[in-house]
Amino acid sequence: MSDSECIFCRIVAGELPATVIERDAQTLTFLDIAPATRGHALVIPTRHTADLWEITPDELSAVTLAAQRQALRVRDRLGAAGVNLINSCRAEAWQTVFHFHMHVIPRYPGDPLKLPWTPTAGDPAEIAAAAQALS
């Protein structure tokens, strides 16, 4: 089941563009359009599920494993020194897109990120360059 109004469901369906890094039967990993750091990605289940309270254990496992694969890619291909995995469940926890998603945020020595961050539009060329390095 998908939600026709959900931006992430529309990305899964190919109706909206995304810089996809990896796709399998249960998950989609793509770069965030408002990255906190270079290589910041989102991992989502391909089936619509609103949040951590609604995702099935199998889907959560699949998302977590995909997030780990992305964390290893940013370490190995972008030189990340660490990584934050962040999920926000419901508006009170800063969830703004109500389709479960895990942020995989690479951390670099001296990066300016202070959590929580305020998303701002990223540089499209830099997002494309990160996608090239991660693909």
Q: Which residues are catalytic?
A: 101
Helix axes 57-78, 124-134, angle to 10 degrees: 100
Q: How far is CA 100 from CA 3, 71, 76, 90, 133, in A?
A: 12, 18, 26, 10, 26
* DSSP designation for 53: T
Q: Say which residue the tokens 């479960």 belong to.
A: 100
Helix or strand holding residue 11 (H, E) = helix 7-12
